[in-house]
Amino acid sequence: MARKTANDDPLAPVTIAVGQEELLLDRAVQQVVAAARAADADTDVRDLTSDQLQPGTLAELTSPSLFAERKVVVVRGAQDLSADTIKDVKGYLGAPAEEITLVLLHAGAAKGKGLLDAARKAGAREVACPKMTKPADRLAFVRGEFRSLGRSATPEACQSLVDAIGSDLRELASACSQLTADVEGTIDEAVVGRYYTGRAEASSFTVADRAVEGRAAEALEALRWAMSTGVAPVLITSALAQGVRAIGKLASAPRGARPGDLARDLGMPPWKIDRVRQQMRGWTADGVATALLAVAEADAGVKGGGDDPEYALEKAVVAIARAARSRSR
């Protein structure tokens, strides 16, 4: 979810929403507008792009009204404002008008940093809306969505939803909302599987899970489905690598350590420790080394080193599944 500063009053004179995650930026705007309309149902909202805010426009929009109406002025892409308009905005920051809330959406990069610094110096309320590029961030987002909706979801369900949907936050938020509306009680992995059959089955992590569990036929079936639905081969090799490395990390960890301690030391959530413990039965150190070599060869194959990425992945999946049963041979 978007992170906020200590000044968390949506009706603060100035709010800056900083980052490039479109859903979070839109939510930052919606929160301000909702608060303003709760205070005054007739609040006037002006939503402008950077090219629409010309020199003098802000002064016109924020000038006193005969009707003393509340107003929200939203400026998107504030980093792209012209130099003259930035002067106008900086001047306004020093003496914001009453009953008016200015919301500046800024990408947060070096461009337009002077305006961002000026807003912060003036004490603007800040909402951080960073792009969520890491799977762990998206997982935390899903957990937060269910919490904000007042529902309980198991860690496995949250992970399955991220695996099934991918990186699009709008789709993740929509899926959380749909599950909350349609399902009673705790949302678990089975529920996610029922609702997202096909997408979940096509997940690169499903391929990896079946492979490290030694279930070659199921892994190959999941792989073919994934490829047919457009999952990028590099995502599959990445998932395979993560799965094998997790086996190796846990195998070399001290015996008898608690899941919480292992989670901290190995950089895995506690629920994943339990899953990997189940998956690692049958693995040996030589098996891990063999599987890692197979993943490296597949990675080279899908990145231009071979003629058939799907064949390279099939070879890797079979090799990993065999390595998963190395202890029993």
- Residue 94 sits in a domain whose CATH number is 3.40.50.300
User: Domain tally for the chain?
Assistant: 3
- Degrees, nearest 5: CA angle 314-316-317: 65
Decide: 88 and 63 in contact? Cβ < 8 Å: no
Q: Kind of pairing, strands 14-19 and 3-4? A: unpaired
**Which of 129, 154, 173 marks a domain boundary?**
129
Question: Which pLDDT score, from 0 to 100, does residue 67 have?
Answer: 62
Comparison of pLDDT for 239 and 92, the residue scoring more:
92
84 and 145 share one domain = no
* Residue 329 located in a structural domain: no
Whether residue 309 is found in the same domain as residue 217: yes
**Do 89 and 38 share a structural domain?**
yes
Low-confidence winner among 69-78, 161-170, 184-193, 261-270 (lowest mean pLDDT): 261-270
State whether 188 and 269 are in the same domain: no
Residue at a domain's end among 196, 214, 240? 196
Is residue 1 assigned to a domain? no
**231 shares its domain with 307:** yes
Least confident of 90-104, 137-151, 250-264, 302-316: 250-264
Six-digit token string for 148: 């904000």
Domain shared by 125 and 140, yes or no: no
Q: Please report whether residue 36 resides in a domain.
A: yes
Question: Domain for residue 9, yes or no?
Answer: no
Cβ-contact 209, 320 below 8 angstroms: no
The model's pLDDT over 9-67, given as tens digits with 9 standing for 90+, comes to 999 999 999 999 989 999 999 999 999 999 999 899 999 999 999 999 999 998 876 56
Output the six-digit token pair for 75.
């400026």
Domain presence at residue 2: no
Last residue of some domain: 196, 216, 246? 196
Residue 7 within a domain = no
Same-domain check for residues 76 and 157? no
- Give me the CATH number covering residue 280: 1.20.272.10
In a domain, 241, yes or no: yes
- Nearest by Cα to 288 from 256, 254, 241: 241
**Residues 33 and 84 occupy one common structural domain:** yes
Going by pLDDT thresholds of 50, 70 and 90, the confidence category of residue 239 is confident
Q: In what order do the strands lie in the sheet with 71-76?
A: 3-4, 125-129, 14-19, 100-106, 71-76, 44-49
Query: For the segment 291-304, what is each residue's pLDDT rounded down to a tens digit?
Result: 999 999 999 988 87
- CATH number of the domain that 165 lies in? 1.10.8
* Same domain assignment for residues 40 and 125: yes
- pTM, rounded to two decimals: 0.62
Residue 313 lies in a domain: yes
In this model, does residue 102 exceed pLDDT 50? yes
Helical H segments across 65-112, by residue range: 83-94
Range of the domain at 139: 135-196
